[in-house]
Chains A and B, each alone.
Chain A
């Protein structure tokens, strides 16, 4: 009797969240799996094509290009955001006059929307009349075409992304630093260790959980990049900044290829799932928890 009532209460508590979860996440997820085996333009009835979308995808140069772009993006972005974030976190680890203000300055871009961030950087790095190129021309350097150039479009996106995320990475590393007991560093200093030795042999190894978290979260987030690409470059020029999510949107809403777009979604899902699973598995092994 009591147990039945508990079941009823639980149902009432969970339904308001479970129904939307099923309707707007689980059902669409299953639909995406199904659709990835079909061809559908939304106008004529869908037709079953088996694995054809996947075959096409893996043979498509555009698809490999987008994957390569994502990896290039991450390889450019991660070292910048991690090094600068770590430097800022190390310097801000002690409180001093103005440290709160500096933290705020570093964090403001994190809460600013991608639309705003993209437009700001597009203007700053505008090839003509943008402040960076204007200043470069003052010292006799012809500035690059930034987001209009096939070589510079990706660095442009990387700069804007690093600027936006730096404060978040700093925050995570700062929390990591503060969880290291100061006695360790003090003991090493008493034993005559130099500052760089303390950093290299004590601080950094004890910071691995935070570092690991920053890397994983960057990987997961950056494979889903869309807003800044859409606004800054639309994937161009000549596909040099095209990424998976942008291809999904383009194929479904511009070309009406719902099946092919769903196959792309599945690839994205598998990538994110693998990163998450690797994280769960490795976390136990090479992270130096106290």
Chain B
């Protein structure tokens, strides 16, 4: 075994650490700025740490935005939509993987084709449709287009194809029907795939911006990204205050990431490589 490829490369390490600092700097600067007053925040030369840290900017944010409401809105929309997306994806995935039925290949083809249609392509007619259905500015209008994912269905189908036939046959001999096999065998055996999909779905709903921006109007219904956009829109130059808002928005993400780091990176990877 040659030494040259297993040696510690100090140049590489230095590069990595500098890179890590650069990657984290924007977050650090956000927190630092949010604790400064307006004069210090814009000072030249900039101070790295606030000279007299205070929470005034956070109080101002709390005056403009109903933070609790925004959090509840984002959380409930994300949880419900994610749950429904997992349900619809795993059910359809089960049918495609485990049931023989007429028209299967055609319907599955339809799913594959729709996987190539990004939301951005259909926002205009989707908005018109929601207007016809009187669902503009409602959570139903916001959530309905996101409860189904062609990618999720495809992903769950792949996972469920991997279930050994013997287990299924044993269950059939015991008189189990599809609903029983689905809930007692297929779901428990595909928990890894389901949790990966769960993380991806939750993130994409939690972070979604374009569709909420189009479909929601009332401030009391808005989600966190919309709230931040409005905060910025109305206070274009009050950066310390905007940074207080973004700091508050980063906190839940950072906590979840610290707790689920491995699962999160893993799900991005599986989805990336299989999608």
Residue numbers of A with Cβ under 8 A of B are 3, 6-7, 9-11, 13-14, 16-18, 20-21, 23-29, 31-32, 35, 42, 84, 87-88, 90-92, 94, 96, 101-116, 119-121, 123-124, 126, 128-129, 131, 134-135, 137-138, 163, 166-168, 171-172, 175, 185-186, 189-190, 195, 198, 213, 217, 224, 226-227, 230-231, 245, 248-249, 252-253, 258, 261-262, 265-266, 268-269, 272-273, 276
B49 within 8 A of A: no
Given A113-B206, A115-B225, A166-B23: A32 and B116 within 8 A (CB)?
Answer: no
Give the complex CA separation of A56 and B20 in angstroms. Answer: 48
| CB–CB A21/B150 < 8 A | yes
What's the Cα separation between A262 and B128 when bound, in Å?
A: 12
State the CA gap A249–B210 with chains docked (Å). Answer: 9
The 4 closest A-B pairs by CB, nearest first: A129-B42, A10-B101, A189-B2, A31-B125
Q: Is the CB of A88 within 8 A of B16?
A: yes
Residues on A with C-beta less than 8 A from B23 are: 105-106, 108-109, 163, 166-167
B203: chain A residues at CB < 8 Å are 111
A24→B118 CA distance, assembly (Å): 12
Are the CB atoms of B257 and A111 closer together than 8 Å?
yes
B residues lining the A interface (CB < 8 Å)? 1-2, 4-6, 8-9, 12-13, 15-17, 19-20, 23-24, 26-27, 29-30, 33, 41-46, 87-89, 91-92, 94-96, 99-102, 104, 107, 110-111, 114, 116-118, 120-129, 131, 144-145, 147-148, 150, 153, 177-179, 182, 203, 206-207, 209-210, 213-214, 224-225, 228-229, 232, 239, 242-243, 246, 249-250, 253-254, 257, 261, 264-265, 268-269, 272-273
Total contacts A-B at CB 8 Å: 274
CA distance A135 to B25 in the complex (A): 14
Q: Could you tell me if B148 and A24 are in contact, using CB atoms closer than 8 angstroms?
A: yes
Distance (whole angstroms) from the CB of A189 to the closest CB of chain B? 4
A276 touches B126 (CB 8 A): no
Contact residues in A for B269 (Cβ distance below 8 Å): 171-172, 175
Contact, CB under 8 Å: A129 / B41: yes
Chain B residue nearest to A84 (CB atoms) is B19
Question: Once the chains bind, are B16 and A269 in contact (CB under 8 Å)?
Answer: no
Contact partner, A16, options B45, B88, B107, B182, Cβ 8 Å: B88
Q: How far is the CA of A126 from the CA of B89 in the complex (A)?
A: 44
